[in-house]
Amino acid sequence: MRVLVTGGAGYIGSHVVKLLGENGHEVLTYDNLTTGNDWAVLYGTLVVADLADTERLRTVIREFRPGAVMHFAASIVVPESIRDPLKYYSNNTANTLNLLGVLREFAVERFIFSSTAAVYGIAEEIPVTEEAPLHPINPYGMSKMMAERILADLTRADPLFRYVSLRYFNVAGADGGNRIGQAYRESTHLITRALKTAKGEFEKLRIFGTDYPTPDGTCVRDYIHVNDLADAHLRALGYLENGGGSAVFNCGYGRGYSVREVVRAAREVTGIAFPVEEAERREGDPPALIAGNEKIRRDLCWTPRYDDLKYIVRTAWEWERKR
């Protein structure tokens, strides 16, 4: 299939582009390279352009004629979304709306959306299932929820249009071949920052909040290896190709690790007792987010291969040492 991938030069998008290419799909990556990197696009063609550029987008869709679109392009930093909400509503919501409008013009009817567990906010029950109420507590989560609502309304208005929304939990790790990995200029991901602290790039790692209602007082998150997440996207593509209806799936392992547990794993993998400092809570951080993943296992026949925190940290460490 011809697959257009927005944001395919970014961390998660590049891993999906790699897997698409390895499975024989024809891929076109559409990315403005704000946070992505051209060297990360290992298969297909890269078009450097912005989703707000409607005419360029129309030209690309008209010429490439994709059978499906995977939409990763987004701003993703929670604290930044609180400081600059308009950036998030513009990039994550308005640009998604712009993309969908162009896809309707050219009758592109299969769409896979990169969403987030942040749409749940502070979940009432853990693990959180896809049926849980959506109560995002920051503009990042709200901007993604609004895009999901647009998709739901669109599929009700046009039954031929079908989408899969994948709600990511905490994505980490790197490609086992060490060719691509997380390369954000200012990464806020815990595992990456811990490893960069071990390398000496940061003076210390800060733990934001130690008084949460969790076993050790620090936030608990469900960490998923990026290769397992990439596999979920290809399974979602096959699901739509085989006539599956619009659906939402959590992407996580169904268990969580605290910040202190991640720090311990990073110290064990690196062999470096890097300094850690406790700090006040960060605005917009829920105490715990763990995925209920029965639906994706059942409906997409998704079976994780890399459900091991130390393996996740090890692949990320190998990538960081290469960089």
Q: Calculate Rg over the CA atoms of the chain.
A: 19
Given the residues 11, 120, 140, 163, the one annotated as active site: 140
Q: Supply the DSSP string of 229-256, one letter for each residue.
A: HHHHHHHHHHHHHTTPPPEEEEES-S--
Do residues 150 and 99 touch, judged by C-beta distance below 8 A?
no
Query: Are the beta carbons of 304 and 253 closer than 8 angstroms?
Result: yes
Place of tokens 């890399």: 306
Asked whether 113 and 166 are in contact (CB, 8 A), the reply is yes
For residue 184, indicate whether it is catalytic: no
H helices of the chain, where?
11-22, 54-64, 78-83, 85-88, 95-105, 139-157, 190-199, 226-241, 259-270, 294-299, 309-322
* Catalytic (active-site) positions: 140
